[in-house]
Amino acid sequence: MVQTLAAAAEHPSVYIDLGRKLVDDREINITSPGKVAAKRAELIRFIWGKPGFPKGKLPSSLERGAVKPDNLKNLDRVDTLHIPMDGGINGLAHHFIPKSKKRGELVILHLGHVDNCTFNDNVPGEPDIGMRRTISRLLAEGFPVLGVYMPRITPDDCSWGHDQLFKIKTAGSPIKFFLESTLVSLNYMEKNFPEYKRFSMIGLSGGGWTTTVYAAIDPRVTISIPVAGSLPLYMSYGISRGDVEQNYDNFYRLAGYPDLYVLGSYGSGRKQIQILNRRDDCCFGESQHDTSASGLPFEPAVRRYEAKVVATLKQLGSGSFKVRIDEKATGHQISQYALDKIILPAIR
């Protein structure tokens, strides 16, 4: 496969082949509650194979208070969780524990595969992606936060390409490498923090993709808010085709993105709010949209698949889905507007 866009040079794990036809996922195939359960089980079998969903798996080690960020109000300490996976792959997550827990809800914040590989993104010269302000605001409101990294990514090493993970032989699919850090961390939280009665999940970029897929397979996540993380494959063009996990044929033949949106939204009290940044300078925004791919301009194309997901949930009788187009975001980020006007009102 050949990288054909200059933007791909900034994302070395992205392989863009405009000549390859992606899975056509414009139709939703989940039409009953029974099909929700069956499709979720099918995806779990694909991802983990015969071993199944690793509900009992826990982190290999915990570093209590090892990370000491500055100027985060209402922060007691940060614990670091180390998650071992097949093939020697390691996952990493930080548990930000507030001094005053005003909320019985843990908010998962997935970093994704952003350039600086750190939740501390207010460093001069680095892009403002909104991680630190999101953590700061959540802590100030009394929410504990779980900050999750992409597999094998650490604050000191951003070099590991996603395509390399797909060369590892493992039971099931390498897709699991992108999900297990969240899954294992939630297992740990359920066991050790019973006061966390609900789990919400937010993610940016590859973290938005992870939020979409994870909410689809684990209904423990009640509210999911993927930011700049995906579009249906039939709408994807150029760099919005994403990394290999975002267009992996064998997976999306089982469930295309609209099916995943349904799975992530369906259930009593469950909802998904997808945020797309109109002026995104990376992917999934208006400037990356090709009208010929969907047959419609950017916003009408978005509203078309949104309406299909909403209609399916109405037919199923449970769950909520909506797409919000962020007009204030200046790039590939969780904007202050999205945080104040969309995310916090949704999870409070």
pLDDT of residue 113: 80
Is 132 part of a structural domain of the chain?
A: yes
Q: pLDDT band at 125, cuts 50/70/90?
A: confident
pTM: 0.94
Whole domain around residue 113: which residue ranges?
Answer: 6-347
Q: Give Cα 215 distance to the centre of its chain.
A: 8
pLDDT, one tens digit per residue, over 64-117 is 998 999 889 999 999 999 999 999 999 999 999 999 988 899 999 999 987 678
Whole-angstrom distance, CA of residue 95 vs CA of residue 83: 13
Q: Are 209 and 232 in contact (CB under 8 A)?
A: no
Q: What is the mean pLDDT of the chain?
A: 91
Does the structure show a pLDDT above 60 at 9?
no
Q: Are 217 and 40 in contact (CB under 8 A)?
A: yes
Is 1 part of a structural domain of the chain?
A: no
Does the structure show a pLDDT above 60 at 8?
no
Is 312 part of a structural domain of the chain?
A: yes
pLDDT, one tens digit per residue, over 156-189 is 787 777 888 999 999 999 999 999 999 999 999 9
Transcribe 52-94 into DSSP letters: ---TT---SEEEEEEE--SS-TTEEEEEEEEEE-GGG-EEEEE
Does the structure show a pLDDT above 80 at 6?
no
Q: Are 212 and 260 in contact (CB under 8 A)?
A: yes
SS3 category, 303: helix
Strand partners, 225: 202
SS3 category, 335: coil
pLDDT of residue 18: 54
Q: pLDDT band at 36, cuts 50/70/90?
A: very high
Mean pLDDT of 210-235: 97
Whole-angstrom distance, CA of residue 272 vs CA of residue 262: 9
Is 281 part of a structural domain of the chain?
A: yes
Residue 70's nearest CA partner among 120, 109, 115 is 120
pLDDT, one tens digit per residue, over 320-345 is 999 999 999 999 999 999 999 999 99
Whole-angstrom distance, CA of residue 334 vs CA of residue 324: 12
DSSP 8-class letter at 239: G
Total domain count, the chain: 1
At 62, list the tokens.
Answer: 């915990």
At 247, list the tokens.
Answer: 């267009």
DSSP 8-class letter at 332: S
Q: Which residues contact 78 (CB under 8 A, 6 or more apart)?
A: 65, 66, 67, 68, 69, 94, 95, 96, 97
Residue 110's nearest CA partner among 25, 256, 239, 221 is 221
Is 91 part of a structural domain of the chain?
A: yes
Q: pLDDT band at 1, cuts 50/70/90?
A: very low
Is 41 part of a structural domain of the chain?
A: yes
DSSP 8-class letter at 343: I
Q: pLDDT band at 13, cuts 50/70/90?
A: very low
Residue 209's nearest CA partner among 168, 140, 288, 264 is 264
Whole-angstrom distance, CA of residue 206 vs CA of residue 224: 14
CATH number, domain of 196, equals 3.40.50.1820
Q: pLDDT band at 17, cuts 50/70/90?
A: low
pLDDT, one tens digit per residue, over 232-279 is 999 988 888 888 999 999 999 999 999 999 999 999 999 999 999 999
Is 273 part of a structural domain of the chain?
A: yes
Whole-angstrom distance, CA of residue 281 vs CA of residue 50: 41
Q: Are 211 and 266 in contact (CB under 8 A)?
A: no
At 58, list the tokens.
Answer: 């826990």
